[in-house]
Amino acid sequence: MLTWKDVIHFSVNGNPEPDKRVEKTEQEWKEVLTPEQFRVTRKKGTEAPHSGALCTAHDAGKYECICCGTPLFDSTIKFESGTGWPSFTQPIKKNAIKYHKDSSFGMIRVEVLCNTCDAHLGHIFPDGPEPSGLRYCINSESMQLEKEESHD
């Protein structure tokens, strides 16, 4: 289980190696993403709180990077943070997420990105539920939910 100490370590000393890398030009990203997905993931934008389609999603499945399809989070660790963005306590794998110190807007935060394609996902904060205490605050525009098939 990752902790805030691990997150800070990665943001200062380097991130775990991803399983693979996906790199495209800005034009190639524009061809496969909607304008809003491009603004959020490639230009480090943020969607308005409570506006994202995945804020209220509670279906079982995996949340994948909208840019490259890399699994990022499992629905079992999603929680209602009340912040207006989908929130998670842990990534699906230790090397799924990249952590970057963000000093924009006059504050210091830790930005989270897809470790496969460098898509901006959101930010992480040390105010989540136990046992990790982490809150990955993620833009809906940066993910897609691959729902588990029902076996009824």
CATH number of the domain that 89 lies in? 2.170.150.20
Which residue of the set 110, 112, 137, 143 is catalytic? 137
Rounded Cα distance between 70 and 27, Å, is: 21
Q: What integer pLDDT is reported at residue 107 of this predicted model? A: 75
Q: What integer pLDDT is reported at residue 106 of this predicted model? A: 78
Q: What integer pLDDT is reported at residue 102 of this predicted model? A: 82
Q: Is residue 80 part of a domain?
A: yes
Q: pLDDT in tens for each of the 152 residues of the chain?
A: 999 999 999 999 999 999 999 999 999 999 999 999 999 999 999 999 999 999 989 899 999 999 999 999 999 999 999 999 999 999 999 999 999 988 777 778 899 999 999 999 999 999 999 999 999 999 999 999 999 876 65
137 tagged catalytic: yes
Q: Is residue 21 part of a domain?
A: no
**Domain membership of residue 75 as a residue range:** 1-15+56-151
Q: Is residue 143 part of a domain?
A: yes
DSSP H/E element including 125:
strand 120-125
107: Cβ contacts below 8 Å, ≥ 6 apart: none
Annotated binding-site ranges for Zn(2+): 65, 68, 114, 117
Tokens representing 16 are: 């775990």
Q: What integer pLDDT is reported at residue 149 of this predicted model? A: 79
Tally of structural domains, the chain: 1
Annotated binding-site ranges: 65, 68, 114, 117
